[in-house]
Amino acid sequence: MTQSLTIRRPDDWHLHLRDGAMLKAVLPETARHFGRAIVMPNLVPPVVTGDDAAAYRDRIMAALPEGMSFEPLMTLYLTEDTDPVDVRNAAESGLIKAVKLYPAGATTNSASGVTDFDKVRGVLETMAEIGLPLCVHGEVTDPDIDIFDREAVFIDRVLDPVRRASPGLRVVMEHITTAQAADYVRAGDETLGATITVQHLMLDRNAMLVGGMRPHYYCLPILKRRDHRDALVDLATSGFDRAFLGTDSAPHPTHKKEAECCAAGAFTAPIALSCIAEVFEAKGALDKYEAFVSLNGPKFYGLPVSEDTLTLTKGPAIDLPTKIAAGADTVTVFDPGQPLHWSVS
């Protein structure tokens, strides 16, 4: 039985770092294990221009503790006013690695997102020309569509038409949650990839709802039925090279999670790699673990694989952190609902 696993240092291809005191609190939890991360731009106000991205990158690096190494991979928030020239300049300078599409109202701080896709056609054409990926939050926001169906409807109504209208556009289906999404990315070509989160690989909606509502499992896209979770686990552990880890680690103050109308997001960064190791071991797929967390993402984004390594060691159940301080607040760490035996060094 494998008791240790040495892999290239992983990257996180979907991460929320927030800003201010929260940024300073959560950044070390990612930088401890991950060498790089695609940083989400949904601040208030959002990161919409190259100048915004440069300023945010500087704040991230200023918050990085001395002695830690970490590279934030910056993104722009796509709005109906985004300037294609600014996107091109930011990408060609190396400042940004992707542009993020939020359908307006789909998730936290998405009010500035897109409602009319014709208004962003020029940006998408520019991105296709220069090979800049579009990271997609794949949910429709129509009030008549059930929340558990929003991802599947998005694929048919929005994603497929956008990809057909912009040939060559590189697209990352972020935090996929359904069997339909897993099937769609499998059927795609080399321009289509997908990230999968910790919580969607470990839990289904029963974990959130049975026996009482557990707000720290509430995220968007929402947890789905067990058969959808099984489809995601099958995709991640299969060795399919266009699926990779994007934790979507999303910190919120504990009081905003434990509220009548709770914030959406799971803060998984401190234990993400240990959680994923449990999933892969349960499927007998530890030989595919490195590809999912360390190799597939750089390949899709056209970036070099890390030269650094880290080792996971299996032993007695590890002590799981419960909360971290963030200024005057705390952030509650994701509870995997099972013991974790893989520690990271």
pLDDT value at 6 more than 80: yes
The pLDDT of residue 2: 62
On whether the CB atoms of residues 257 and 267 are closer than 8 A, the answer is: no
On whether the CB atoms of residues 103 and 139 are closer than 8 A, the answer is: yes
Whole-angstrom distance, CA of residue 240 vs CA of residue 173: 15
For residue 33, what are its two tokens? 């294990």
How long, in residues, is the chain?
Answer: 345
CATH of the domain at 14: 3.20.20.140
More confident residue, 111 or 275: 275
pLDDT value at 107 more than 70: no
Average pLDDT over residues 40-53: 96
> Per-residue pLDDT tens for 283-329?
999 999 999 999 999 999 999 999 999 999 999 999 999 999 999 99
pLDDT value at 104 more than 80: no
105 band by pLDDT with thresholds 50, 70 and 90 = low
pLDDT value at 112 more than 80: no
Average pLDDT over residues 23-39: 98
Whole-angstrom distance, CA of residue 245 vs CA of residue 91: 23
Strands (E), 224-345: 243-245, 309-314, 323-326, 329-332, 342-344
Whole-angstrom distance, CA of residue 138 vs CA of residue 171: 11
The pLDDT of residue 209: 97
pLDDT value at 113 more than 90: no
For residue 270, what are its two tokens? 């401190």
**Of 42, 77, 96, 8, residue with least CA distance to 298:** 8
Domains held by the chain: number? 1
Helices 84-92 and 50-63: crossing angle in degrees, nearest 10, is: 40
Average pLDDT over residues 250-258: 98
Write the DSSP symbol of residue 193: E
Q: What is the average pLDDT value for the chain, to the nearest integer?
A: 95
Whole-angstrom distance, CA of residue 148 vs CA of residue 220: 10
**Of 260, 275, 261, residue with least CA distance to 321:** 275
Average pLDDT over residues 253-276: 97
Residues 6+ apart with CB under 8 A from 191: 163, 168, 169, 170, 171
pLDDT value at 122 more than 80: yes
- Give the 3-state secondary structure of residue 189: coil
What is the side-by-side strand order in the sheet with 4-8?
4-8, 309-314, 342-344
Whole-angstrom distance, CA of residue 187 vs CA of residue 182: 9
**Buried-state track 135-147, b at ≥16 Cβ within 10 A, e below 16:** bbbbbbbeeeeee
Q: Is 204 a catalytic residue?
A: no
338 band by pLDDT with thresholds 50, 70 and 90 = very high
Domain limits at 199? 4-344
Helices 20-31 and 50-63: crossing angle in degrees, nearest 10, is: 70
Rg (CA), the chain: 19
pLDDT value at 110 more than 60: no
Sign of CA dihedral 344, 229, 74, 53: negative
For residue 68, what are its two tokens? 């830690």
Q: Percent of the chain beyond pLDDT 90?
A: 93
269 band by pLDDT with thresholds 50, 70 and 90 = very high
> Per-residue pLDDT tens for 126-185?
999 999 999 999 999 889 999 999 999 999 999 999 999 999 999 999 999 999 999 999
The pLDDT of residue 162: 92
161 phi and psi angles, rounded to 5 deg:
-60, -40
- Give the 3-state secondary structure of residue 272: helix
pTM of the model: 0.96
How far are the Cα atoms of 104, 191, 201, 234, 291 from residue 300, in angstroms, in the given order?
Answer: 27, 8, 21, 20, 12
The one catalytic residue in 11, 52, 86, 248 is 248
